[in-house]
Amino acid sequence: MIYFECDYGEGCAPAILQALEQTNLEQTVGYGLDPYSLKAQQLIADLCGLNSDEHKESGTLQENLWRERETAGAVHFLVGGTQTNTVVINYLLRPHQGVIAADCSHINVHETGAIEHFGHKVLVLPTQDGRLTAAQVQDALLQHLYDPNIEHTIQPGMVYLSFPTETGMIYSKSELQAISSVCRQYRVPLYIDGARLGYGLRSPKADITLRELAALTDIFYIGGTKQGALFGEALVICNPAYRKDFRYFIKQGGGMLAKGRLLGLQFLTLFTDNLYWQLSDHAVSQALRIRQALADKGYPLYMDSYTNQQFTVLTNEQMERLQQRFVLSVVERTDSGHTVVRICTDWATDPENVTQLINAL
Amino acid sequence: MIYFECDYGEGCAPAILQALEQTNLEQTVGYGLDPYSLKAQQLIADLCGLNSDEHKESGTLQENLWRERETAGAVHFLVGGTQTNTVVINYLLRPHQGVIAADCSHINVHETGAIEHFGHKVLVLPTQDGRLTAAQVQDALLQHLYDPNIEHTIQPGMVYLSFPTETGMIYSKSELQAISSVCRQYRVPLYIDGARLGYGLRSPKADITLRELAALTDIFYIGGTKQGALFGEALVICNPAYRKDFRYFIKQGGGMLAKGRLLGLQFLTLFTDNLYWQLSDHAVSQALRIRQALADKGYPLYMDSYTNQQFTVLTNEQMERLQQRFVLSVVERTDSGHTVVRICTDWATDPENVTQLINAL
Amino acid sequence: MIYFECDYGEGCAPAILQALEQTNLEQTVGYGLDPYSLKAQQLIADLCGLNSDEHKESGTLQENLWRERETAGAVHFLVGGTQTNTVVINYLLRPHQGVIAADCSHINVHETGAIEHFGHKVLVLPTQDGRLTAAQVQDALLQHLYDPNIEHTIQPGMVYLSFPTETGMIYSKSELQAISSVCRQYRVPLYIDGARLGYGLRSPKADITLRELAALTDIFYIGGTKQGALFGEALVICNPAYRKDFRYFIKQGGGMLAKGRLLGLQFLTLFTDNLYWQLSDHAVSQALRIRQALADKGYPLYMDSYTNQQFTVLTNEQMERLQQRFVLSVVERTDSGHTVVRICTDWATDPENVTQLINAL
Amino acid sequence: MIYFECDYGEGCAPAILQALEQTNLEQTVGYGLDPYSLKAQQLIADLCGLNSDEHKESGTLQENLWRERETAGAVHFLVGGTQTNTVVINYLLRPHQGVIAADCSHINVHETGAIEHFGHKVLVLPTQDGRLTAAQVQDALLQHLYDPNIEHTIQPGMVYLSFPTETGMIYSKSELQAISSVCRQYRVPLYIDGARLGYGLRSPKADITLRELAALTDIFYIGGTKQGALFGEALVICNPAYRKDFRYFIKQGGGMLAKGRLLGLQFLTLFTDNLYWQLSDHAVSQALRIRQALADKGYPLYMDSYTNQQFTVLTNEQMERLQQRFVLSVVERTDSGHTVVRICTDWATDPENVTQLINAL
């Protein structure tokens, strides 16, 4: 069987395994305070355009009393996406606040209620294609402000986006600017889940750079798990107001890896010699071959995606035939005769497998 | 100004104040273990048809080891509605479970996310008039069962209804039977929020008795706050499986009143000489006078309610005129020219005030 | 039987029942926004020396955007003590922070883990007589600051004291000043649980006034339940930094009484014509009669208390004899032959009952 | 510098890296449902003596309705220790319950209050050397049962032990049998944190096997992170009553690795050809060399440990001298002149480094 089911079906970019091997018996301190993690943090901060003044927190509440600590960095490495979302949202929200998110967002649908389990409501907004609009976000904020029973309802405390979304869609620069602008006007932080960030930024439709995205958000993460790492996500806290004591939250949330250098090493490797972007390009280009084939052969494009996830609608006959050789991901059955499926490529997708799929369509 | 804004604008039935006075300087034990509370609990258990075998828990998990305790009763008194909902839902659900509820339900909209703050997602189903259907509930349960990512999503762990709903609507006996039957088939407990239970059961459209309602639910509560008490709700745990250790949850949830007898005394008074039902009848009959007047004068009935809450749509001109003398509750502005309002009566509504409102319509 | 078991065995000061009766059928808005509550809040703010500039929050984070709201007051009324403690601690702490408290403190021992259930560790310090010292608090703060695994441990985020303590002891002004000074130096808020505040402030050993206590704390509460109200606690937020959005927390914590005026009316009555202080004086003077009798008859004073709670050690023979006519509270059995008991007076204690107890000793 | 600071300073056993490489580009399903994970689960279940009847859950609550699912296995793989402890404790406890644990236990001291953040109190018992006794546990259970304010206090809901403890100590078989017997008598589950399980079971003082330990506990875990894996812990649910829906908790707790096979592969490698035990033996034997040298040279043994952690007390002069070449872990300063230190070996410790340390003592 050939898998197009997800983007975490293989191991990792071989260069990562090589890095792990080369450093395997070195002794370092744990919990992400090792030299590899520090180096990777600096590298990512630079790539995101966080200058050193921003990178180092100055003047904390207890500046003359509490020792200066590593708890205040701009970049942190966590193990997985659900964990990262939980830790960030738990950090940003006060107990009476909720997170504005799209109906199909990962935090609303596929994290077993982890956000709620940590005490926060997901304030769901409906979407056509998985993307929120600035107007929607503003309406939700205003609706709360003018609610006569204001304190009987949850206060919107942050906005969560995915780039790309669960539906493979990306925001244009101007769309992100508009949302970011609303967030700053109403002083609610903007957080972007970048589990597939590379597959979004390297889409031919993307008109925004990593650095521009960083400038528009308060916190976002650069996905590793789905982008060529064994595991790991690089969290970037662009807004220095949200750095203090962050490491406590990572530890409390079960996300502080004892052998933290494993995360540092992986991101160091991914962001050396543009590996991350090359792996992203590969996945996107294979996905676009599938997109073209779907269009050519008259399959409906269920989402207008130019990233590594393609969505189409199959008849039962088509479904049955393809399932004999390929593993696809079932999104939903729209009626008794049709099924929406997702076809995923990733950094490791074999072009020959794509050719076979195209031929089988 | 004359208030038709809510059903908790006055104090309490005079008989309750009298009871408080007569017993004021008596000394009793606290935390609801006093003779008045015990008597009121027995009275309510009897009214609900819980026979003594059901009322007393037999055979707990640790029956020969842990002392038999008052933690296992069928009836408990709590101070308010949000608190009661929070305690019950926190008791019934495991961390990976959520509560199925209508979109406009109190727990989803007006409890400042208390359910989520205690760790549980509200699994929202859309409704036309605030009422869930048995088919909807079953679909939601089946959808989870057949989810390929089952453990990535929240497991539905209970069903929450209101009787009447926030929209003043009630369920017929057969509708409740159908929902109850689905719940029992799939082994998820059914909980009914009865903040206005009397106003529902005494509606001319109600075809179900207190005892029948008790037989169909696992837990429900008989509202006091909105029904003539100073404060307080009587929780009835019909299913003995959900009685063990319940008092721990009341205490942990901040709902265990030190002078618990105040709650016992109030419910004892309310359920003596049918006072509760008389107070309910009064509110309903005054609401029906308003309903009739609305219909007669051509105001649209926004909800087809036969309980103490009436809903209509006012033009700006009507709104402005009525607001000069009456306080109504704004539900929402449907467009720039119209407003949905709620008109509430209660146990204390002065018929003369209703006459004035009718004349002003 | 005559009860000296607790200080919540009777109803309330008759003047309160009178006030409830006189206003019973008035219509007011709910949730504590009624005129009685507002008047009582102002009265208490004045008594505590909070001037109007402090009392009104100026300049919130979103001052030009979010409407000015009642969520920002200095005085709030809640129903009970556990609820008040939970709401305050949940408001003050971030998820990675805990509350420093004495080993025997109410939040550590008798709230069914409500603090932990809301997500926070109680950082317990050992005490001789229930009182923390400034040195202890400072040591605990410094120990965290110099912990090499700082973010693997809970950050002390506030200090909780009781005045008087569960053991009937009070802090002197200089002791409180010292603790307050440490808290301000290390920027952790100081919260005082005043469930029996009147019984503490009116102790002959007290050398601090209400206003002085308010000046030394960030938040404290004036107990009503044990001091002559039917129920209710008046929370005073002395530090304006902790007022924003407080009402959300009350609602979320299940502490927002629908008929909020019941709380306002009670505190208005208690603080009119010095009633609160007179009731406090009564309880203390009756307790001191018992203290004197215990001393005269050679009973050991288990705690050197000059407030309404007296503690002594009884032999089995004494215990058995007294229990035939009096209900005392068992604190612990020290060995097979002796029991520590608590003898409580309150605002309603009948002096004749005290005489009978003294004669029976 | 030579590190004896911790047991997670190096990468992993070379055989693990080899296994990762060999399988790197294979495509498998995610989330631990891949063939490697299933094979490793079966292998570990067999090693622990869980026969197939126990391994498969029979008869769930909803047996005929809910599909049979992988949520019910006996062995699960999680990423780290804090996460594992949090997930297990959150699974086992109800909201009103707490976990009995030693004062110095990892969950009480070094998990940033994760247990409390998930809502549960750690019920701390004092210890001499980090080990609880059966008598202590029984006393704590009985104290709760006979508490007159039972529901005002947290109910002990489980017992947590570490094997070995944070202090390097192990329980004898008879000690564990006694504790297990108390737990079963009072029906509270027993959970053992085995972060260093191999270093405990291979201690020359150990008189218990893996299988015997499994038979005495309800749940325990076999540590990987500190025992030669890159990361990962193998959780063994011995008591089938605690298997239902467990995978929901892993996902909700952020512990479900997308590329779950990484965990399966590691444990498969560790438990092939006795690698796990060989690695354990290595660490223990090197630690015993240090223990002997400490004794020979007159250093006090702070704990009587025969596992991979050795504890001694250094004078300032000794401390200063050793710190020039070796990284040790500071436990506490006992007075101005002395420091308790921990010296850790692990699966990768170079015997030559141990020789150097011994010579430097």
Q: What is the ipTM of this complex?
A: 0.94
Token pair, residue B215, equals 């037989």
- pLDDT range class, residue C60, cuts 50, 70, 90: very low
The verdict on C325 touching B (C-beta cutoff 8 Å) is no
Q: What confidence category does residue D334 fall into, taking pLDDT thresholds of 50, 70 and 90?
A: confident
Q: In sequence order, what DSSP letters do the residues of C261-321 get, joined into one string?
A: HHHHHHHHHHTSTTHHHHHHHHHHHHHHHHHHHHHHTT--BSS---SSEEEEEEEHHHHHH
Distance CA B186, CA B138 (A): 8
pLDDT class of D71 with cuts at 50, 70, 90: low
**From B62-66, C126-130, C222-226, the region with the lowest mean pLDDT:** B62-66
Answer yes or no: do D111 and C330 touch at CB < 8 A.
Answer: no
Is the pLDDT score of C68 beyond 50? no
Chain A, window 50-79: residues with a beta carbon less than 8 angstroms from a chain D beta carbon = 79
Query: Helices D134-145 and D173-186 meet at what angle, rounded to 10?
Result: 10
User: How many helices and strands in chain D, by DSSP H and E?
Assistant: 15, 12
Per-residue confidence (pLDDT) for residue C93, from 0 to 100:
98
The rounded percent of chain C whose pLDDT value lies above 70 is 94
Q: How many CB atoms lie within 10 A of CB B187?
A: 12
Residue that has been written with the tokens 């926030």 in this structure: B166
Tell me if D61 and B187 make a contact (CB, 8 A cut-off). yes
What is the pLDDT confidence band of residue D63, given thresholds at 50, 70 and 90? very low
Report the residue from D95, D112, D149 with minimal CB separation from C117: D95
* CB neighbours of residue A204 within 10 Å: 10
Name the maximum alpha-carbon separation found in chain B.
71
**Contact state of B80 with C258 under an 8 Å Cβ cutoff:** yes
If one compares B149 and A237, the residue with the highest pLDDT of the two is A237
3-state secondary structure of A343: strand
Q: How far is D115 from chain B (nearest CA, A)?
A: 14
Q: Shortest CA distance to C348 belongs to which of B35, D148, B264, B28?
A: B28
Length of chain D: 361
Give the mean model confidence (pLDDT) for residues A211-240.
98
Chain-centre distance for alpha carbon C190 = 13
What is the CATH number assigned to the segment(s) A2-7+275-360? 3.90.1150.10
Which pLDDT score, from 0 to 100, does residue C11 have?
Answer: 98
Residue labelled with tokens 């007290």 = C206
Q: How far is C236 from chain D (nearest CA, A)?
A: 26
Confidence of residue D27 (pLDDT cuts 50, 70, 90): very high
Kindly give the pairing relationship between strand A155-162 and strand A97-102: parallel
> Does B333 touch chain A if contact means CB atoms closer than 8 Å?
no
**For A108, nearest residue in chain B (alpha carbons):** B153
Say which DSSP state A253 is in. Answer: T
pLDDT for C259 beyond 90:
yes
CB burial of residue C239 (10 Å; 0-12, 13-18, 19+): middle
CA–CA gap between residue A348 and residue B341 (Å, rounded): 59
Distance, in angstroms, between B122 CA and closest chain A CA? 9
Predicted pLDDT of residue D148: 81
Measure the CA angle with vertex A74, ends A72 and A76; round to 5°: 90
pLDDT of res. A234: 98
Residue type, C6: C
Written as six digits, the tokens of C132 are 């923390």
pLDDT for the residue C63: 40
**Inter-chain residue contact C96 with D112, CB threshold 8 Å:** yes
Question: Interface partners of C (3+ CB pairs, < 8 Å)?
Answer: A, B, D
C215 is written with which tokens?
Answer: 């000046």
Name the residue with higher pLDDT: C53 or C285: C285
CB contact under 8 A, D153 and C116: no
CA diameter of chain A: 71
Region C132-158: mean pLDDT is 94
Could B119 and A121 be called an inter-chain contact, meaning their C-beta atoms sit closer than 8 Å?
no
Q: Is the pLDDT of residue A72 over 70?
A: no
Tell the residue number behind the tokens 């399980």, with chain if given: D197
Read off the tokens for C108. Answer: 């550590």
Among candidates D234, C148, D230, which has minimal Cα distance to A261? D230
Task: List the single residue in C71, C94, C155 with the smallest CB-CB distance to A151.
Answer: C71
> Quick one: pLDDT at residue D142?
94
**Mean pLDDT of all residues in D107-123:** 96
- Calpha distance D46→B295 (Å, rounded): 75
Instruction: Answer whether A83 touches D (CB < 8 Å).
Output: yes
Q: Do the beta carbons of residue D38 and residue D270 sit within 8 Å?
A: no
What single DSSP character describes residue B221? E
pLDDT (mean) for A268-297: 98
Whether A248 has a pLDDT exceeding 60, the answer reads yes
Query: Closest Cα partner for D17 from A223, A12, A78?
Result: A12
**Lowest mean pLDDT segment, chosen from A148-152, C55-59, D82-86:** C55-59
* Fold of the domain built from segment(s) B14-270: Aspartate Aminotransferase; domain 2 (3.40.640)
Contact D95 B94 (CB under 8 A): no
Which helix (H) or strand (E) element contains residue C252? helix C246-252
Q: How confident is the model at residue A63 (pLDDT cuts 50, 70, 90)?
A: very low
Query: Running DSSP on this structure, what letter comes out for residue C248?
Result: H
Residues in contact with C20: Cβ distance below 8 Å, sequence separation at least 6, in sequence order: B11, B17, B230, C262, C265
Note the Cα B347 to chain centre separation in Å: 16
Nearest to A284 by CA among A309, A302, A303, A313: A309
Q: D20 and A17: CB-CB below 8 Å?
A: yes
Q: Chain A window 213-272: which residues touch D at a Cβ cutoff of 8 Å?
A: 225-226, 230-231, 248, 251-259, 262
Decide: D126 and D139 in contact? Cβ < 8 Å.
no
Q: Are the C-beta atoms of A90 and A257 separated by less than 8 Å?
A: no
pLDDT tens for C285-294 read: 999 999 999 9
Q: What are the DSSP E strand ranges found in chain A?
A: 2-3, 75-78, 97-102, 122-125, 155-162, 190-193, 219-223, 233-237, 309-315, 326-327, 329-335, 338-344
Measured between CA atoms, the residue of chain B closest to residue C86 is B254
User: Does A275 score more than 80 pLDDT?
Assistant: yes
| Contact yes or no for C230 and B11 at CB 8 A | no
Name chain A contacts of C155, Cβ cutoff 8 Å.
Answer: 245, 248
- pLDDT band per the 50, 70, 90 thresholds, residue D10: very high
Please give the pLDDT value at position B58. Answer: 43
DSSP-H helix ranges across B48-169? 52-55, 81-92, 106-109, 114-117, 134-145
For residue D97, give the 3-state DSSP assignment.
strand
Omega cis (within 30) before D126: no
Question: Could you say which of D95, D185, D256 has the minimum Cβ distance to residue B252?
Answer: D95
Between A205 and A148, the more confident residue is A205
Contact D224, D270 (CB under 8 A): yes
In sign, the C-alpha dihedral spanning C321, C323, C329, C333 is positive
CB-closest option in B23, B27, B259 to C231: B259
B109/A151 touch (CB, cutoff 8 Å), yes or no: no
The residue in chain A having the minimum alpha-carbon distance to the alpha carbon of residue C151 is A248
Dihedral Cα A316, A322, A325, A326, nearest 10 deg? -100
D279 sits in which H/E element? helix D275-296
Tell me what the pLDDT averaged over chain B comes to.
Answer: 93
Using the Cβ of C113 and the Cβ atoms of chain B, whether some distance falls under 8 Å is answered with: yes
Peptide bond before residue A164 is cis, with ω within 30 degrees of 0: yes
Closest residue to C148, CB basis, from D122, D154, D330: D330
Q: Give the span between the Cα atoms of A19 and B85, in whole angstroms.
A: 54
A151 touches chain C (CB under 8 A): yes
- In this structure, are residues B194 and B81 in contact, taking their beta carbons and an 8 Å threshold? no
**Segments making up each domain of chain A, as ranges:** 2-7+275-360, 14-270
Q: How far is A207 from chain B (nearest CA, A)?
A: 33
Q: Which residue from A minimizes the CA distance to D28? A: A9
What residue of B is the nearest CA neighbor of C256? B80
Task: Give the chains touching D; criterion: ≥3 Cβ pairs < 8 Å.
Answer: A, B, C
Give the C-alpha separation, B215 to B207, whole Å.
Answer: 14
CA distance D9 to A261: 9
Q: Which residues of D touch B251 (CB under 8 A)?
A: 151-152
Chain C: residue nearest B231 by CA?
C259
- Residue ranges of chain B whose pLDDT lies below 70: 51-72
pLDDT given for residue D51 in this prediction: 63
Enumerate the residues of chain C whose CB falls inside 8 A of the CB of residue D110.
149, 152-153
- Taking contacts as CB-CB distances below 8 angstroms, the residues of chain C near A251 are 151-152
Distance from CA of A112 to the nearest CA of B (A): 4
- Residue A66: closest CA among C157, D191, B149: C157
pTM (2 d.p.): 0.95
Interchain proximity A145–C67, CB inside 8 Å? yes
Cα of D97 to nearest chain B Cα, Å: 9
CB contacts, 8 Å: A254 with chain D: 79-80, 82-83, 86-87, 114, 253-255
pLDDT at A55 over 70: no
Instruction: Kindly report which listed range (A26-35, A193-202, B99-108, C65-74) carries the lowest average pLDDT score.
Output: C65-74
CA distance A147 to chain B (A): 10
Q: Which residues, other chains included, contact B215 with Cβ-Cβ below 8 Å and sequence gap of 6+?
A: B49, B238
CA torsion, ordered A149, A152, A157, A158, to nearest 10 deg: -90
**Which residues are registered as beta bridge partners of B98?**
B156
Interface touch C257/B23, C-beta < 8 Å: no
The partner residue sitting opposite A259, judged by closest CB among D230, D248, D251, is D230
Tell me how far apart the alpha carbons of residues A264 and A270 are, in angstroms, rounded to a whole number: 10
Q: Is B25–C257 a contact, with Cβ atoms under 8 angstroms apart?
A: no
Question: C218 and C186 in contact (C-beta within 8 Å)?
Answer: no
> φ and ψ at A181, to 5 degrees?
-65, -45
Question: Does the structure show a pLDDT above 90 at D69?
Answer: no
